[in-house]
Structure 1
């Protein structure tokens, strides 16, 4: 019995030790990716988008827009100190934040629309992570060369040449990162003024700390982490699957015409062997910034940048085959082509795809633009346009005069020596334009009532004219005095009427006049 127990214990320990040895690590080490420079239409499109987006980001704070002498002349400015947002001729006040909310909703719906049509094209072309990684790769190639040179340099011992190249590359990355952080803070203050303060070390400490944080994140995300940000940190790869359907365009390896692969097509064809178009050159893998093989099908890491399409098209042209072995395609088209290319046993038959001259046979389905127009995309587009039109209409018709009134809480009323009742109010008038305006303030609905402004000599006890500074809120204490014979009940509703004396806007505010309980007796 003792021997049996020892054997069982030995077996348990052996199993546990085996499990410990075979247990996989919870964290995978990063494998360095050295993407090769691609050439083609999609790469040119990415260059154009990168140039446009970077220009917009770095140059926008320096654009000027004349708003007169009473408002800042920076075209795009988030003025946190005064709680204003300026965008060329549009000015947003805090109470108009619903416009920002509307823009965010439109951005979300636009992302859903684009993804349902063409997958992760946002990620592949306009996402800031993608744009800055492309910029950092330009710097890396400039100092270290293209893919093969960079791979060789990475494995080479540390020489003066390698040290110089690495120091130059990382120094340039840091300069770009600093410029990126600096450009961001220029959106929140007058750019020329803030730049002078930064140079002379007179800027607020929050400006330097913001530049430091954004410099670190840009350098780490764009230079060191790269594809890991898209794979592990960004939630969109895990969400986008819900946005796709069988008619969504995605980058696809058309294995119905690429299989079976052969590195020696001509020799295989001469021997009468069935071969597809793919020559297994791995050019698509070499140019992929995510380091994936698109021939393995759709993968979470794919950002739909289409560089693999450019690389494959170049190879197909050199071997005398049709372009489009890797292309944008829909799942429905892919399934239709796959069904046509297979035999009864489910195997791909190259002779069903190509004729004796090597040309693609007729009948294979290619993308048709009308496939983009379907109920799902129309719903997204309709909602997106509706929100946009509502926002434009609201901006075109919104009032630039705002007003609010608050009744004194203590005391609610004061009985004067002549028996009349006085109530105090705090009136706030928002002049939401960039020029000063005069506003007439009067009351309506309270018979015999008069107005008084503390410390102000008034010519008319029924109305008063107040001047509001441009783009500011005028706060004024107002006293309303009513005779007791005009008060039929303790609480009487009336209205403040505020209008531009130059015949412009007019607004009203409802208020309540408080009186003693015995006022109606």
Structure 2
């Protein structure tokens, strides 16, 4: 029997079973709130969307697992890892970008871009993030591939599960779980490599010299990856992930979703029955009820029942249906990315339309462009030096024995470059004042040369004394300037000189 004949045999229409009568009122309390989980055995499939998913899997996991080993030369006194979250030195490195803790707003901007990007994807093609890019989907795809490699495809796997377990069954399951654990272990190991020099940490992990926190996080991520991708799978999408509920509130009627085109598929029946009815001049649908779209679904839903919470828009049912349609000589895309509006338009004899560019998508794209542009501009024009001033709080000012007023400040100088630099610190704003840099020789012009080491900060204690004959105001603005002695770059900040109205 050929594969096509087998599919036709499976698709023969079976008499519908009558619905069960409702339970008596006394038994309602015994009905469970949630149905027991039905184990899903997804079948392998070949096609366009499956190839796209394989490409996304290889690219994303390749980046995740091997990016810590990529080197980037930043010169002396700097780490050479391309992507590094350096907690001890409070730095984040991403190739040529170096971020300090006070630049956390860049992380906020990235989160905003990620959220709006998710909204844009949803407005264009529904839960396309869930179907292709979500980490749960990517790792689950990998785990399913390992499962098929060790235990066979859907039919073979189900047959082994139903039969009495043999030594071969235990061996296959043991190999599967061993490979699952190895993937989970390397997933946790790759994560910690982003927080230290990767080659060095790998050596320390192998010799038992790594810090305990590294082993702890590897263990945590190994367990979570093994549990989520290997065992919970679709349960994460159905019960744990909030995005399906949020996505339903953000979508509209123009977003493309994986859709069963019932205007073309109904009434569904077996291929043999359809040929008989066609010969009689009756209308028949293209769907042969082969259930291939259900068998390949990673969450086990039937897309022909309409939009459902379990559908992650992965498109595997499209590939499965297209393969069947090709074998039967029928048009492709009985299941496709489409909208209910287009189905109704075809039923009414109108041309379908695809409105990808509309106010919603333009607004999301504009927000991404503006936020990304602002971040790039600030990143390109940011200073490599900085100055901040903290005024003494108690007391706000001191009156000296000669009647003059003195304010104290703590100046913090920031050198973001990887070399030592000399800065000129200037204090201006009072017509007659004496600026005393504590621990440094006093200068009459209110300026002082301060050296700051590479990639360091330095605090300088400054006492400003006003000795003018004219009583100062209760608060006078004082300008603190930081000038690079070599390049002349200037950073400035303003503070206040406090005093009384009268002497």
> Fold match, TM over 0.5?
yes
Moved more, 107-116 or 459-468: 459-468
1:331 correspondence with 2:340: yes
**CA deviation profile, 1:394-440 (whole Å, cap 9, x unmatched):** 21222222211112234444555666544332110112233322110
**CA deviation profile, 1:458-492 (whole Å, cap 9, x unmatched):** 57663111122222221122222332536534544
1:475 correspondence with 2:451: no
Q: In the TM superposition, what are the counterparts of 1:323-402 in structure 2 within 5 Å?
A: 323-340=332-349, 365-366=351-352, 368=354, 371-402=355-386
Q: Conserved in 1, the CA contact under 8 Å of 2:428 and 2:446?
A: no
Question: Which blocks of at least 5 consecutive residues in structure 1 are unaligned?
Answer: 1-15, 341-362
Give 1:91's aligned residue: 98
**CA deviation profile, 1:40-96 (whole Å, cap 9, x unmatched):** 011001100111110111122222222221222222122223332222122222222
Residue 493 (structure 1) aligned to one of 472, 477, 484: 477
Taking structure 1 as reference, are residues 414 and 378 closer, same or farther at Cα in structure 2, changes over 3 Å only? closer
Residue 177 (structure 1) aligned to one of 180, 184, 196: 184
Alignment length (residue pairs): 479
Aligned counterparts of 1:337 and 1:169: Cα–Cα separation in 2: 47
Q: In the TM superposition, what are the counterparts of 1:157-196 in structure 2 within 5 Å?
A: 157-196=164-203
1:287 correspondence with 2:296: yes
Residue 248 (structure 1) aligned to one of 240, 250, 255: 255
Partner of 1:215: helix, strand, or coil?
Answer: helix
Aligned counterparts of 1:327 and 1:60: Cα–Cα separation in 2: 35
Taking structure 1 as reference, are residues 295 and 490 closer, same or farther at Cα in structure 2, changes over 3 Å only? closer
Q: Which runs of 4+ in 1 moved over 6 A?
A: none
Aligned counterparts of 1:219 and 1:89: Cα–Cα separation in 2: 35
Residue 311 (structure 1) aligned to one of 300, 305, 320: 320
Give 1:114's aligned residue: 121
Give 2:234's aligned residue: 227
Taking structure 1 as reference, are residues 272 and 490 closer, same or farther at Cα in structure 2, changes over 3 Å only? closer
What is the TM-score of this pair, normalised by structure 1? 0.87
Residue 35 (structure 1) aligned to one of 16, 26, 42: 42
Q: In the TM superposition, what are the counterparts of 1:142-157 in structure 2 within 5 Å?
A: 142-157=149-164
What is the TM-score of this pair, normalised by structure 2? 0.90
Residue 262 (structure 1) aligned to one of 246, 251, 269: 269
Q: Conserved in 2, the CA contact under 8 Å of 1:429 and 1:475?
A: yes
Aligned counterparts of 1:489 and 1:373: Cα–Cα separation in 2: 60
Partner of 2:431: helix, strand, or coil?
Answer: coil
**CA deviation profile, 1:169-224 (whole Å, cap 9, x unmatched):** 01111111111111111122222222222222222222222111111111111000
Cα shift at 1:382: 1.4
Q: Conserved in 1, the CA contact under 8 Å of 2:42 and 2:296?
A: yes
Q: Conserved in 2, the CA contact under 8 Å of 1:446 and 1:486?
A: no
**CA deviation profile, 1:369-403 (whole Å, cap 9, x unmatched):** xx211122111111221111121122122222221
Give 2:13's aligned residue: none
Question: Which blocks of at least 5 consecutive residues in structure 2 are unaligned?
Answer: 1-22
Partner of 1:19: helix, strand, or coil?
Answer: helix
**CA deviation profile, 1:268-297 (whole Å, cap 9, x unmatched):** 433544321111111111111011111111
Residue 24 (structure 1) aligned to one of 9, 23, 31: 31
1:406 correspondence with 2:396: no
Partner of 1:485: helix, strand, or coil?
Answer: coil
Cα shift at 1:257: 1.2
